[in-house]
Amino acid sequence: MKAYWYDNIEVNTPIGRTQLSNHFQGDQREPHDSGRAVSEEKLASLGVLYKHCPTIDTVNTIAAERGYRNRDEICVSPATMGAVYEEKVKSFFSEHLHEDEEIRYILDGEGYFDVRGQEDEWIRICLVKEDMIILPAGIYHRFTTNEQNYVKAMRLFQDEPKWTPLNRGADVDVNPHRKTYLEKIVNPTAVV
């Protein structure tokens, strides 16, 4: 795992200068590494947990500790998704949250999870085989493959498998899970 601040490079576009973090231009699958590392402690302050899991037994132990009873696997690649690959990768990259904790374990390949920091800036987390990430309910995030266009991941669920993204917007900003995340994790001493 490697985590760092997203680069926010300004680029010239046909409509003028813009920042990549706000109005994405270019290829989301590039590293966009600012050169400023983010520690596991910083990620933990956002409720984001990282685990290196060299064996499936390690994954099973974490799943049992957190009450995860179900799982499935997804392979994100042009070979497995065919004509819908580009559309799917774009949908995964739309900023969203989930009302449940999200656990992903990388079985093969590589991918990026971007999460919002306390000041609403992006932190990019590069995950490779044997990496696990746990995102808290209510955190805004997005996902993309890297330039290899291939990742195979295990998705873990407490109940029936589901993946319901709530795309960022005014109505989702007041979602109870978002408010709880802000109150308990991002700013536990402030009133939201």
> Is 10 assigned to a binding site?
no
Going 141 to 145 to 146 to 152, the CA torsion angle's sign is positive
Q: Say what the alpha-carbon torsion angle 159, 149, 85, 63 is, to the nearest 10 degrees.
A: 0
> Is 32 assigned to a binding site?
no
> Is 98 assigned to a binding site?
yes
Going 124 to 110 to 129 to 77, the CA torsion angle's sign is positive
**Alpha-carbon distances of 3 from 6, 37, 72, 92, 122, rounded to whole Å:** 9, 6, 26, 19, 11
Residue list for the binding site for Fe(2+): 96, 98, 102, 141
Sequence ranges of the binding site for Ni(2+):
96, 98, 102, 141
Q: Which residues are annotated as a binding site?
A: 96, 98, 102, 141
